[in-house]
Structure 1
Amino acid sequence: MSFNLIESVKGLISGDLISKAASTLGESEGGIQKLINGAVPVSIASMIQNATNSSDGGAGLLDTARQVSRSGVLGNPGSLFSGNTSSVPGLSGIMESLFDGNFNSISNALSSFAGVRSSSASSILSMVVPVVLGVFGKHAIDNNLSATDATSFLASQKLSLLSSLPPGLDVAGMLGISSLSSLGSKISGGATTVADTAQQTVDYAAGPVKKGDNWVMPLLLVLIAAALIWYFLKGNNKASSGAVTVDTTTVVTPPVTTPILTLTRIKVRLPNGKMLNAYTGGIEDKLVAYLNSNEAVSKDKWFDFDNVNFKTGTTGLTDSSQQQIQNIAEILKAYPKVKVKVGGYTDKTGDSIANQKLSQSRAETIASAIKTAGANAQQVVGAEGYGSHFATVDASASDEARKVDRRMALNVREK
């Protein structure tokens, strides 16, 4: 499972620490929690912007993060409440440089968002930034990341960042950028762009899609396939009189780069009028489209969760997973006849028996979470862990390649 910077940072900020901060600063615990929930993504967004826009390719930020990690602040984040970071290696002047001289204005914006005093927002932000830097630095050290690797890693956190943003928090506005989709735009290959400036609404309130309405996409795919076939046939040399033609032309193959994945935020309107925040091609989008289609139910058709993660080595869901769990519960409530089963899968590494047990526990966790989120328990008819039984990627492959086998999914049994 990929490393989630936001969840790792929040994992270090315990309930006791929040209580201590509230008592020390004279604020409510709810206000401090809301403040932290805002300060963490603001800090990470600032780091992404700093790394991708710096002339040194993020080397300076990486060096600072490594120093902070080695300083020991992660063992006692509460010691940073005072805002005095001068004693921590690498942190001298980091607040102003990281926020491009706008530390006070960002503190004030967080203060208004959380309903706390500006001084409290400043103190919490001064604590959160070193913690974020320290966690990032530790990850970079543990994985021997270069500046380029570290900057790409930060860019990979954008989707998690967007998913974790509390309602009403305008991170882009605080940082003086047009939208979060502009973060990391200088990174080529593997960057994820989220189009968050204009949301599309997919409306299913009108009821199921009629069978006659489904001809456009198949026709388009046929036309594309025909065009590709024509292109490749046209480009190949034809053999004459049965002779084999040998092409001696030197072919220069351009470097292979990872295509940029564009994710568009959408609003999915359910038949009961409920609106869901989702992404084009995400599980909510695909699942609701399927439920509104004439496609028959099949035990072989699974919908992969794309924003549900577990805390490392456990069966506990991360906080950021709750949004998608809630969305699935809302979909089931909107389609009371639908029944689903949850499946869990692992890659081929490790002990197969242990993998099966872990996948079973995680499938049960998701099924239980969907029920807790308000779905009718009768609609979640099962949870099964398949371990590595259906894994397709060899155990010796890279971790990135094996990600496809580590998934949680949903199967519709009745609709």
Structure 2
Amino acid sequence: MSTTNLIDLIKGQFGPSTISQTATQLGESESGISKAISALLPAIIGGLVNSNARSELFTTVKEASNSGILSNLLNDNSGNESIITRILHLIFGSGDRLEAITSAVSEYSGIRKDSTNSLMNIVAASTVGTVGRYVTENNLDSSSFDSLLNDQKDNLSHLLPAGFSFASLGLGNWFGNVDAQPLNVIPEPAQTPVNNINPSTPVIEKDVTASGPAKIDVTRSGQTHEIVSERDSGGSIWKWLLPLLLLLLLGWFFWNQCNKKAEAVPVSTTDSTSTEVNSADYNGDTVIVKRETMVVILPSGKTLQAYKGGIEDQIVTFLKSDDYKNATEDQLKDKWFNFDNLNFEFGKAVLTPDSKVQLENLKLILAEFPDAKIKIGAYTDKKGDANTNLKLSNERANTVKSSLNSAQVLEAEGYGSKFAKIPAEASDKERESDRKTAIRFVK
């Protein structure tokens, strides 16, 4: 039976839009905020998993699940301040450990200490809120809660960011001792103090010319020692000769590689942003577009896999925001969200099989926000006959509407090449941005 990975659920709270908004709010760079979160997450999740106060934790996370703490992560969360303070106390205690962690993360990420403190509260709120929601939705008791936390221990070591260690803070054992001591440190062998050697006992030297094991002298106190003759130093020439030979060999290898003529390797093109692909228009110098995936958490606690910064991430963030709640119809008219993994067969209104994933995700999102209503728009580039393009875009918009099969989809409209900006004479790759399908919200 597979175990639930709470770590992925918690990390899913910190998508690009959240990091960007937090950076703006705190007056820090996005890279600094992202780096600080990467260090704070293992500290807080590790503390939660390794806490001995499981009973108090269970009570606190259940309280958090009913507090609305997740919906106010970046807004005024003062009403949940007692929960956040309590969870940090249960994890780190009342000593100086919390202060030490804050200072270390601030130095590691390059953001101010007060920003790190604020970020600590945000990450703690996200953690306790996500865990609390999972506990409530799955009706876990305290025993099941213990098992859930214990199941997370194997995942902790993968959270540790490169270049940041918890060993100096006394937290190394939280992560299976993976950072409990510096790497590449060879312990020095224990040596018997000279004053412990009994002077009345004869010392026997090891003869390097003789076969068999070295002779060991035992003193009257029961201690042993071995003294090696200076003749052993005769092999010291290898101490400098062997590294020199290895260095020469390494230099020859790199010289040989640099003089090899690079061979062209055909690579297939992956493009998840266009709505149509004509492989004949691509030349041999192809590029693979790699995109990072993330977990998008819906209000009910359900999750879905999506591209980081993709349409799912964008619209869930927007629907939760005051910008959507307070927006008028006129303000929504110009705010479109482009599908980034929805494609059609060339010149047709037939969806490719891979497009079903994003459509299913959109269905789930609409179900989570039953009051939300959308309009679908489809666009083409300028190449070809304008009337044909308009007809094709209308068919594509209605294909998406039919696939969603939801009363929340009020309208579907094709705009053809009306809003296209790239000339028809441009390459297919350049005209790609004009071919799209998008949605906007309607009030």
Q: Same fold (TM over 0.5)?
A: no
TM-score (norm 2): 0.39
Structure number with larger C-alpha Rg: 2
TM-score (norm 1): 0.42
